[in-house]
Structure 1
Amino acid sequence: MARTGRPRAFDKDQALERALLLFWSRGYGATSVQDLVDALELERGSLYGAFGDKRSFYLAAVRLYWDIYERRLAEALETGPVLPALREVLAIPTQLQEYASDVGVPQGCMIGNTLAELVPQDAEAREVVARSNARFVQIVADALRRAQAEGEVTQAADPEDQARLLLFTVQGLSLVSRTGLDTATALSAVDALLDALRA
């Protein structure tokens, strides 16, 4: 008869959400297992039993981050004018102070951070980043196609190419924003890019 073991005395989903904020504010390398134990108020054995090693825990947090981001991206672009919605999406890296918690202030984009810290040495991390980037391009390209049909966006460029340019912009802005980029300066650059997309 298989042993069921002791039931976990914590909420795994809540622990992952808290770990996401910790990893997002400090990065993978600067977050130790002890930091996770302290922030989540878990025993090491419980943490390892629930999530595996630190790398597995981090990648689970990145996947959760992307699931949340993708849902918000799709909702933002679902209806209404596309360009104002894209402006809000592109501006997020400059507004992360609003997401501050007791474990810190988020830094940049977790997908971009993973790209900088773990890729290309880690094949699984590379796959997570590649899949997330592909979904960003797909969602944004679909919205741009609709915007072209409605006369909001120029017909002069392919929607996939436009979406890739926006991906490169948001990832670059995300990394640069970690140096303390002024919000007004960042938004001026975003506006210049979006103006080039207008019909």
Structure 2
Amino acid sequence: MARTGRPRAFDKGQVLERALLLFWSRGYEATSVQDLVDALSLERGSLYGAFGDKRQFYLAAVQLYWDTYERQLVAALEAGPVLPALREVLANPARVQEYASDVGIPLGCMIGNTTAELVPHDAEASEIVARSHARFTQIVADALRRAQAGGEVSRGAAPEAQAQLLLFTVQGLSLVSRAGLDTAAALAAVDALIDALRA
């Protein structure tokens, strides 16, 4: 009978979630394999066996980040009026402290951070980022199209252009938040943008 090996004594999904928070709070380059070993209480061999090298582990974490974000974005935009939901999406970077965990406080948007650290010299990272931006724009444009039809949002611009503006805004706020963000000023800017979209 062939040997199947000893089963893993950890939940891969839970480990990836904790690694995501560590990478998110420190960044790719500043997170060493030893940092991961210490924070996750796993041996190097177990990490390599489950996730591959640090880069593969990081990209898996980024994909998990986006998958979670996309589900939350779709749910928020389908739950009721679009503009209040979009305000919450844009305001999130100003409230990053709420995501603090025992492995650190997240800095900005993980997609934006990946853009800064790995794009364009890493093809896989570039693909994840491009796909995430395209999905954000598509999801938000679809919601804005519904909101235009319902009279909630101005018809002064195409939904795709409005969605692109919102993408640039949320990514910009996320980047600025890494250096410290004046929450009141950020929320005032968000409110100004939301008011401009209002019918």
TM-score under structure 2 length normalisation: 0.98
Equivalent runs, 1:31-42 vs 2, <5 Å: 31-42=31-42
Q: Which residue of 1 aligns with 2:12?
A: 12
Structure 1 residue 5: deviation in Å?
A: 1.5
Q: Which residue of 2 aligns with 1:123?
A: 123
1:123 and 1:40 map into 2 onto residues whose CA distance is 28
1:142 and 1:183 map into 2 onto residues whose CA distance is 29
Aligned-residue RMSD, C-alpha = 0.9
Q: Which residue of 2 aligns with 1:105?
A: 105
Q: Which residue of 1 aligns with 2:71?
A: 71
How many residue pairs get matched? 199
1:2 and 1:25 map into 2 onto residues whose CA distance is 43
Q: Which residue of 2 aligns with 1:60?
A: 60
1:82 and 1:42 map into 2 onto residues whose CA distance is 43
Structure 1 residue 79: deviation in Å?
A: 3.0
Gaps in structure 1 of 5+ consecutive residues: none
Superposed CA offset, 1:43-91 (max 9, x none): 0000000000000000000000001100000000003211110000111
1:183 and 1:139 map into 2 onto residues whose CA distance is 26
1:155 and 1:102 map into 2 onto residues whose CA distance is 45
Structure 1 residue 3: deviation in Å?
A: 3.5
1:2 and 1:46 map into 2 onto residues whose CA distance is 21
SS for the counterpart of 2:164 is helix
The letter of the residue matching 1:159 is P
SS for the counterpart of 2:61 is helix
Q: Give the ranges of 4+ consecutive aligned residues of structure 1 lying more than 3 Å apart after TM superposition.
A: none
2:2 and 2:162 map into 1 onto residues whose CA distance is 54
Superposed CA offset, 1:153-183 (max 9, x none): 1111000110011001000100001111111
Superposed CA offset, 1:98-152 (max 9, x none): 1111100011000000000000000000000000111100110010001001101
Q: Which residue of 2 aligns with 1:90?
A: 90
Structure 1 residue 23: deviation in Å?
A: 0.4
TM-score under structure 1 length normalisation: 0.98
Q: Which residue of 2 aligns with 1:25?
A: 25
1:196 and 1:27 map into 2 onto residues whose CA distance is 34
2:57 and 2:178 map into 1 onto residues whose CA distance is 23
SS for the counterpart of 2:7 is coil
The letter of the residue matching 1:85 is A
Q: Which residue of 1 aligns with 2:138?
A: 138
Gaps in structure 2 of 5+ consecutive residues: none
1:61 and 1:5 map into 2 onto residues whose CA distance is 26
1:132 and 1:196 map into 2 onto residues whose CA distance is 25
1:3 and 1:183 map into 2 onto residues whose CA distance is 57
Q: Which residue of 1 aligns with 2:196?
A: 196
Q: Which residue of 1 aligns with 2:180?
A: 180
Q: Percent identity?
A: 83
